[in-house]
Chains A and B, each alone.
Chain A
Amino acid sequence: MIITSANVLAKAEGAARNMPLADARAVIPGLQYFDDPPDLHNKLLNGLAEWFIRFTPAAAVDSPDGLLLDISGCAHLWGGEAAYMAEIENRMKAFGYDIKLGIADTIGTAWAIARFGNDTSIVEPCKQTEALLSLPAAALRLEFEILERLDKLGLQQINQFINMPRTALRRRFGEDILLQIDKALGFEMEMIQPVIPAEPCQERLQCLEPIVSAKGIEIALERLLEKICTKLKREEKGLRKAVFTCYRIDGKIEQIEIGTNSPTANTGHLFKLFALKIETITPALGIELFVLTAEVTELVTAGQERLWDDPDMLEDSALSELLDRIEGRIGANHIYRFVPAEHHWPERSYQPAASVFEKVQSEWKVERPRPVQILPKPELIDVTAPIPDYPPMNFRYKGKLHKVTKADGPERIEQEWWLQEGRHRDYYAVEDEEGARYWLFRSGHYDATNSYAWFMHGFFA
Chain B
Amino acid sequence: MSTKAAIINRLKKEILPLQGFKSTLQNVALNGLLGPVVKAFPNNSFPLGAIHEFISDGATDTASTNGFISVLLHKLMKKKGVSIWIGNTATIFPPALKSFGIAPGQIIFIDLKKEKEMLWAMEETLKCEGLSAVIAFIPELGFTASRRLQLAVEKSKVTGFIVRQNPRNINTTACITRWKITADASKPLYGLPGLGFPRWHVELLKVRNGQPGKWVIECKGGKFIPVYETLSAPLQIRKTG
Verify A330–B93 contact, CB threshold 8 A: no
Verify A311–B80 contact, CB threshold 8 A: yes
Which of chain B's residues have a CB closer than 8 A to the CB of A170?
Answer: none
Which of chain A's residues have a CB closer than 8 A to the CB of B64?
Answer: 436, 461
Docked pose: A234 CA to B54 CA in angstroms: 50
Verify A319–B130 contact, CB threshold 8 A: yes
Which of chain B's residues have a CB closer than 8 A to the CB of A53?
Answer: none
Q: Mark A19-52, 1 if CB is under 8 A from B, else 0.
A: 0000000000000000000000000000000000
With known contacts A353-B105, A370-B95, A435–B186 Cβ distance under 8 A: yes
CB proximity to B under 8 Å, residues A336-366: 336-340, 346, 349-350, 353, 356, 360, 364-366
25 contacts between A and B (CB under 8 A): A314-B82, A318-B129, A322-B124, A334-B111, A335-B108, A335-B111, A337-B109, A338-B94, A346-B93, A350-B95, A356-B108, A364-B103, A364-B105, A372-B70, A372-B96, A373-B92, A406-B186, A406-B188, A406-B193, A408-B195, A431-B185, A434-B183, A435-B184, A436-B64, A461-B70
Verify B108–A334 contact, CB threshold 8 A: no
Verify B98–A364 contact, CB threshold 8 A: yes
- Secondary structure of the B contact surface, majority rule: mixed
B139 touches A (CB below 8 Å): no
B42 touches A (CB below 8 Å): no
Verify B68–A408 contact, CB threshold 8 A: no
Verify A336–B59 contact, CB threshold 8 A: no
B107 touches A (CB below 8 Å): yes
User: What residues of chain B have their CB less than 8 Å away from a CB belonging to chain A?
Assistant: 59-60, 62-64, 66-68, 70, 78-82, 89-100, 103-112, 117, 120-121, 124-125, 128-132, 182-186, 188, 193-196, 198-199, 219
With known contacts A334-B112, A431-B186, A461-B219, A325–B105 Cβ distance under 8 A: no
Closest residue of chain A to B89 (Cβ to Cβ) is A336
User: What residues of chain A have their CB less than 8 Å away from a CB belonging to chain B?
Assistant: 310-314, 316, 318-319, 322-323, 325-326, 329-330, 334-340, 346, 349-350, 353, 356, 360, 364-366, 369-376, 405-408, 429, 431, 433-438, 458-461
Closest residue of chain A to B62 (Cβ to Cβ) is A373
Which of B100, B103, B106, B185 has the most chain A CB atoms closer than 10 A to its own CB?
B185
Which of chain A's residues have a CB closer than 8 A to the CB of B81?
Answer: 313
Verify B106–A313 contact, CB threshold 8 A: yes
Verify A310–B219 contact, CB threshold 8 A: no
Q: Return the contact of B195 from the options A314, A372, A437 (Cβ within 8 A).
A: A437
Q: Return the contact of A407 from the options B103, B105, B111, B195 (Cβ within 8 A).
A: B195
Which of chain A's residues have a CB closer than 8 A to the CB of B97?
Answer: 372
With known contacts A366-B99, A431-B185, A330–B63 Cβ distance under 8 A: no
Which of chain A's residues have a CB closer than 8 A to the CB of B184?
Answer: 435
With known contacts A350-B95, A366-B98, A330–B195 Cβ distance under 8 A: no
